[in-house]
Structure 1
Amino acid sequence: MKQHRLIIDASHTHVRAACNWLHETLSRSLTNEKLYELELATSEILTNIVRHACDDAPPTCCIYVTVTIYENMVRVFFVDNGKQMPAFIASSLNDTSRKTTLPDDLDEGGRGIFLIKSCVDKARYRRFGPHNVMLIVSSRE
């Protein structure tokens, strides 16, 4: 098991830097397809944290990213001190009982949840005290 950590300010500039860091961290551990899917999910998650949880980066909002590489899977944790995810979005993200479908064209949101769940094997969200914790898991093969 190998673990890598990154702390960034919640800004769009740092989202790109974090995705580059993730690519460097995982490029020798995943197939190109798996790496692309994790980068896409990570970019979506970080962008949503900046835009929604942190209201486009107040200076007090930080994002902690932890990547753990296991023999058969990769886990990525995102922790931020922004606003709590709305309950209906968290419920949709955490729901494993039904297949995720692309929202209607007229729906206000939900495409991010669809994208994230389509790219990884598992996605979960919880609120712990003042922190949002998001987990994504992907097999290495």
Structure 2
Amino acid sequence: MLIATLLPLLTRYSLGCDLVAGPDETITLTIIPRTPEGSTHKLKSGETRPISITASAQEIDAELARGSDGALGQLIASRSTLAEQIAEQRQAAEDARKAAAEAAKAKPAPATSRTAPISNAAKAQTLISPPADAKSEEPASLW
């Protein structure tokens, strides 16, 4: 039953298993995905995260017997779905990057407009001269 339940994982990973007896007759089953021998596929960090189930032996057997409807099966399905979504997002990002690069190559460089520089004397005159409606006996207001 354990091997049949793990078969979907075995198609993509080499698996390490660890069984540890705990207090009150509980057992922790830890499944560790690894890169299969001879595989060119490099596992991402999310794919190599161990899967742990802690329960009584009967509960683990019952959960594994549920197959794809059990906790382990649902976790495997969720990881597969997430991996597919990540692959799709990476492909979409790569396509968008390529499209942006192509658009940048096709777009001509914008013409720079040259304006006559303002002389220092004109700048100084603009800064020093008071407003036209200013009265000499009143301080200038910004408002």
Shared fold by TM > 0.5?
A: no
Q: Structure 2 length normalisation: TM-score?
A: 0.28
Q: Structure 1 length normalisation: TM-score?
A: 0.28
Greater RCO (CA < 8 Å, at least 6 residues apart):
1
Q: Larger helix proportion, structure 1 or 2?
A: 2
Larger Rg: 2
